[in-house]
Amino acid sequence: MVKIKNKTIFTGKIKLLSGLHIGSGKMSLETDATVMKDAFDKPYIPGSSLKGVLRAVSERLHHLVLTNNSVPVCFLAENDCNQGEASKELQEKLQPLIRDGKENEVNNEIDQNICPICQLYGSTFRASKIVVHDGTLTKNNDSKIHSTVRHSVKIDRDTGAAKDGAKFDYEVVHAGEEFDFMIEGENLSTQDEKLLYLAIHELVNGNIQLGGKISRGLGSVQLVDAKVKTYHFDHSDDKKAYLKSLINKKHEGAIKVDDNKFNIIFELV
């Protein structure tokens, strides 16, 4: 069991700049493809969907903030962290260490052999350092109708006309809707912060598309009212502040993304 030395909380709201379709894989009487909804029949953004997009951004742009990573990001490598010869070799190294209960040695071996992305977002060898919560509709969002059904037809590329029997429809959450956003990170290193803050900045700038049918103009989102608070548990004041936050569910002293906390991370590159 790894001791938690620091905890970072990111909060804000996800605002839809365009319609959003995160499919549930189900049909209804109204549409062929419904969106994900909670127990109260309200649309929500699954944390897994948001985490997947953030991970993809960190993978694509890691070279902007990481310069001397000895282990290549696995989506660019022939043998990634979770399969192939590299994975087999690591498993063989870990087995005797695990058997002998050498936890520190196990963690060190994993750190040296899995890529920076997998260290942050998780792999078969290590749990994710972050938890991305489901995004539920904000409380001040009192509109009764949150989505609509769009109708489309498939076009024949040769004739340019609609194909026979190719009409289909899908549900879309309205642009302008807002969802709560929260990420919790534990024991984030400077390397982890660089990768995660890079992805979050892309979200703040509205450069991320979420969900399906993005080629049709759907899925443009933006993180607004974004704040971050880091607790260092070796500081008594931070311990008290975190325990207080568990009671009032509010992280006092959180700073906005355009404050020094975020800028310092990129100055470390």
Give the Cβ contact number of residue 81 at 10 Å: 25
Q: What average pLDDT is seen over the chain?
A: 82
Q: Which of 169, 185, 189, 196 is nearest to 57 (CA)?
A: 196
Q: Which residue has the higher pLDDT, 230 or 257?
A: 230
Please provide the DSSP assignment of 182-212 as one string: EEEEES--HHHHHHHHHHHHHHHTT-EE-SS
Q: How far apart are CA 183 and CA 203, in angstroms?
A: 13
DSSP letter (8 states) at residue 214: G
pLDDT for the residue numbered 224: 94
Cα-based torsion angle of the residue sequence 84, 86, 90, 93 in order, rounded to the nearest 10 degrees = 110
Per the listing, tokens 């972050």 go with 130
Average pLDDT over residues 191-210: 94
- pLDDT recorded at residue 8: 94
Residue 220 has pLDDT above 50, yes or no: yes
Of all residues in the chain, the percent with pLDDT exceeding 70 is: 80
How far apart, in whole angstroms, are the C-alpha atoms of residue 149 and residue 250? Answer: 37
Q: How far is Cα 94 from Cα 236, in angstroms, rounded to an integer?
A: 36
What band does 164 get if pLDDT is binned at 50, 70 and 90?
A: low
Would you place residue 268 in the very low, low, confident or very high pLDDT band (cuts 50, 70, 90)? very low
- pLDDT confidence of residue 147: 80
pLDDT digits 0-9 by tens, 126-157: 889 999 999 999 976 656 778 888 777 666 56
Question: Of 140, 174, 181, nearest to 14 (Cα)?
Answer: 181
pLDDT average, residue stretch 9-16: 95
> Which of helix, strand or coil describes residue 226?
strand
Average pLDDT over every residue of 2-31: 86
The residue among 33, 36, 58, 9 whose CA lies nearest residue 208 is: 58
pLDDT of residue 19 exceeding 60:
yes
Q: Where is pLDDT greater, at 240 or 253?
A: 240
